Amino acid sequence: MITELKLINFRNFENLKLISLYKENFIVWENGKWKTNILESISLLSNNSITRLSYDELIKKWKDYFYIEYLNDEWDKISLSYSKEKKKKQFMLNNNKITKKKFNQVTNKCVIFSPIIMNMMYLSPNLRRDFLDDLLKSSFDEYEKITTNYKRIIKHRNITLKKIFEWKCEKKEIKFWNEKFIEEATKIYKYRFKIINFLKSSIITTKEFFWCEVDNIVLIYNTKVSESDTELDIRKYLEKNIDRDIIMWKSPIWPHLDDFEILVDWIQLSHFASRWETKSVILWLKLLEWLFIEKMTGKKPILLIDDLLSELDNSHKNMLLKKIEYYQTFISSITKNENKNTIMI
């Protein structure tokens, strides 16, 4: 559990220190007044991000660096700093430099709740892919490196496809990047199927939120490969569609384009359920997210709830607050709750 938090030159804060943090913490101020920046600092120290801003954008105006740290209940001090001039991040544990890999191993993981999450099943599939990838990155330290390598390979494969199309290299030169592509994509699918199988087996528990009788709720993962023959399926698809890929200069398939949907009695959730029921299912997906992280890492994640309570009705608020009582939580709000541990900014 985080007991203290310190920010230097981070967004709006030149020097801020929060001490005596509790299991449940309400960060209270009016809209647009820095609440999210506190949650963002915690998410960065958890190897995640609420805002997804670049590190340069997180530095206070006219400053060259930021520094953020937290102290946990085991008296470990974990910190992250970034220099704009050097374009360099530095990770530290108890004032000693550590690698990014070590940082990921010792830091607390987090689960992020934000208003846009409530539209996950309605908006772009990017939101659903981000949900899966963020969850896997928090659960498996090596997953982030695998996805970074995968994106690099995709880039080089597409460049090679374009060169082939423009007669600047021979068709056989794509074989090298195809093999690299197959290797990394297969690794990603190994983790994707792990979380998809967990969600598939757990999603049925959301039936309690539907007023009408529902026979089944299922999660469908839309992909071109099978779990049993992933590598073979990718290889066959690449060989079959190589001419199309050369014409398009793209790799228009595989993990970066997969999606999932939730069906209620075999009808899409967004078509079948009310807005209330859909919100309930999405909140339940986030519940499954933190349960999966805890199961895989052996540690309870920190929950960051950013201006979400104002988007929820009382029944959803009560449901969420009841479920999170066993986890350390940071909740940004514009309304002070006299019965809670409140941080006034």
Task: Say if CB 333 and CB 305 are below 8 A apart.
Answer: no
Q: How far apart are CA 65 and CA 58, in angstroms?
A: 9
Work out whether strand 217-222 and strand 259-264 pair parallel, antiparallel, or are unpaired. antiparallel
Q: What's the mean pLDDT in 255-277?
A: 85
Q: How far apart are CA 307 and CA 224, in angstroms?
A: 37
**Bridge partner list, 306:** 332
| Inter-helix orientation angle 314-323/275-297, to 10° | 10
At residue 61, the pLDDT reads 92
Q: Do 275 and 153 sit in the same domain of this protein?
A: yes
Counting the structural domains of the chain, the total is: 2
At residue 324, the pLDDT reads 84
Q: How many CB atoms lie within 10 A of CB 256?
A: 16
Q: Could you tell me the two tokens for 26?
A: 């309400």
Q: Could you tell me the two tokens for 274?
A: 């009310």
In this predicted structure, the answer to whether residue 340 has a pLDDT above a threshold of 60 is: no
Q: How many CB atoms lie within 10 A of CB 151?
A: 12
| Inter-helix orientation angle 230-240/174-202, to 10° | 130
- Residue 186's CATH number: 1.20.1050.90
In this predicted structure, the answer to whether residue 33 has a pLDDT above a threshold of 60 is: no
Q: What pTM, to 2 d.p., does this model score?
A: 0.88
pLDDT tens by residue, 305-338: 988 777 777 877 888 888 888 899 999 876 655 5
At residue 124, the pLDDT reads 84
- Residue 311's CATH number: 3.40.50.300
Q: Which domain holds residue 242?
A: 119-297
pLDDT tens by residue, 202-253: 998 887 777 667 788 899 999 989 999 999 999 999 999 999 999 998 887 6
Q: Do 283 and 306 sit in the same domain of this protein?
A: no
Q: Do 199 and 180 sit in the same domain of this protein?
A: yes
Task: Say if CB 199 and CB 243 are below 8 A apart.
Answer: no
